[in-house]
Structure 1
């Protein structure tokens, strides 16, 4: 099992990134929450990882925080939730926001995520509710997510088109992805555009 990577960020094409570790480039899929928190290409990076072994591929998922990886691992143990959907959930909301949805029985907020219907949202609330107590601080406060800052990477590609493609890869339909990006501030990095679109989607 590959549990952590520390190296140089070689490429960042949401939702994928490549990390050079001792001359070996690891392809890693990450949530938009993690991608926004990462430094620029060429800088050092450290990621918590989870390896999924399939008959046809070995898939590596990366997380900026250990808490995010813990939630990912909890999600994929829920019936009907695979790595792709778990990553989409983590892209739409951080750990603290997801915890609030579960503890407040807010199925409506969860159904705004791609691939999460009413029944799936209800199942997530039921199965995840009892898994959160050990995630609280000793003083009873819910663990807050770390602040994420977007990096501005120079690219020759169209950031808006790349952002739309990344949203489609998360499970949104092309027309829906395009609509989500309407009005998003120009000049942002691809990751920041995606995060802004996801935030507006969840707020709507």
Structure 2
């Protein structure tokens, strides 16, 4: 069983890299993010490896970090998610982004991965909610609840519109949701999106 490769980059393909280890070339299939971060040909590289052995196939999957590898394994615990889909997800989202998506039940973020439809994305965030690594960047309890509502599509329209407007202005989604959560405290009853945007911008400027 191969668990790690340390050698030099021999060749980079569309979905794999060939790592030369003392004259032996190992083909490791990787996600897009891992492939994009690889050094040039002839340069040193270290990959964490998952080895898949079947009667008619032996395949290596490579990861730049242990976190990526952990997510690859976790994702395959979800019904309907195999190695190909798991690799597409971690190739699209960083480990931190994926942790955010699961913690906030943001199926739309997961569905950005190629080949991942809405139903599979919904299963991923639902089934991994209690299995995924701890989420530590959610902010206040109020903003966490709000972001879960947004991710699940259950937030009130003015709230979702205000967050969307702040994101369109260039603010990260988590920061925008945090600002709108603060705005809700000062907005009174049934605020419209314009008021939430105005108060959210005020919170962001502090």
TM bracket, shorter-chain basis: 0.5 to 0.7
User: TM (normalized to structure 2)?
Assistant: 0.63
Structure 1: 4+ residue segments shifted above 6 A: none
1:115-154 correspondence to structure 2 within 5 Å: 115-133=115-133, 135=134, 140-141=136-137
1:52-201 correspondence to structure 2 within 5 Å: 52-133=52-133, 135=134, 140-141=136-137
Query: How far apart, in 2, do the equivalents of 1:42 and 1:33 lie?
Result: 20
1:28 offset after TM fit, Å?
0.7
User: TM (normalized to structure 1)?
Assistant: 0.64
**Aligned match of 1:44:** 44
Q: Structure 2 unaligned segments of length 5 or more: list them.
A: 139-206
Q: Tell which has more relative contact order, 1 or 2 (C-alpha 8 A, sep 6+).
A: 1
- Which digits, 9 at most, give the CA deviation of each residue in 1:64-119, with x for residues without a partner? 11110010011112111111111111111111111111111111222222222222
**Aligned match of 2:15:** 15
Q: How many pairs align?
A: 138
Q: Which has the higher helix share?
A: 2
- Which digits, 9 at most, give the CA deviation of each residue in 1:123-147, with x for residues without a partner? 10111111224x56xxx458xxxxx
Query: How far apart, in 2, do the equivalents of 1:116 and 1:109 lie?
Result: 10
Structure 1 residues 100 and 141 mapped into 2: Cα distance closer, same or farther (>3 Å)?
Answer: closer
**Aligned match of 1:35:** 35
1:129 alignment partner, SS class: coil
1:16 offset after TM fit, Å?
1.1
Structure 1 residues 125 and 37 mapped into 2: Cα distance closer, same or farther (>3 Å)?
Answer: same
Q: Structure 1 unaligned segments of length 5 or more: list them.
A: 143-204
C-alpha contact (below 8 Å) 2:7/2:22 kept by paired residues: yes
Query: How far apart, in 2, do the equivalents of 1:111 and 1:63 lie?
Result: 21
Query: How far apart, in 2, do the equivalents of 1:141 and 1:49 lie?
Result: 28
1:120 alignment partner, SS class: helix
- Which digits, 9 at most, give the CA deviation of each residue in 1:32-67, with x for residues without a partner? 111122111001111000011122110100001111
Larger CA Rg, structure 1 vs 2: 2
Q: CA RMSD in A?
A: 1.5
